[in-house]
Amino acid sequence: MNPYRSYVRRRRSSGGAASARGHFILGEIGRSAGAAGEAIDPYRRAAELSPQIPEAHYQLALGLVGAGALGEADFHFGRSAELRGDYLTALESFRRARRLLGEDPRWAVRLDAALRHLQ
């Protein structure tokens, strides 16, 4: 069994890491161990707990591209760019995400708000 998978299962069962930084580090461990698909959840949790960490959004986006979730990946690429102050790239990414995700109500509100904020 992959030691990373075993560790993540133990951490999940005990409530996971206490902070966004802990989840981010779990994602980094998974990515470096070659388990990029399994690193998505820790990166996602880090981005949820502390949405101001651009690298969490960026690494989550890379994992989502590998998983084929391109619309959601573009949202997180955009969020990462926005947090770094690259507003043109953020705007392009949010527009691409809006096209890819269509009218999915879970994303429409978030993307419309992000686009309004940048325009």
Query: What is the DSSP track for 2-61?
Result: -HHHHHHHHHHHTT--SSHHHHHHHHHHHHHTT-HHHHHHHHHHHHHH-TT-HHHHHHHH
What secondary structure letter does DSSP report for 98?
H
pTM: 0.78
Q: How many CB atoms lie within 10 A of CB 119?
A: 8
Distance CA 82, CA 91 (A): 8
Q: What is the CA radius of gyration of the chain?
A: 15
Residue pLDDT, tens place only, 22-47: 888 888 888 778 776 778 998 999 99
* Distance of alpha carbon 74 from alpha carbon 32, whole angstroms: 22
Cα torsion angle, 15, 20, 80, 32, sign: negative
Q: Which residues of 102-112 are buried (b: 16+ CB within 10 A; e: fewer)?
A: eeeeebeebbe
Quote the CA–CA distance of 79 and 95 in Å, as a whole number.
12
The tens-digit pLDDT sequence of the chain (119 residues) is 444 344 444 444 334 435 888 888 888 888 778 776 778 998 999 999 888 889 999 999 999 998 999 999 999 999 999 999 999 999 999 999 999 998 888 898 989 989 998 88
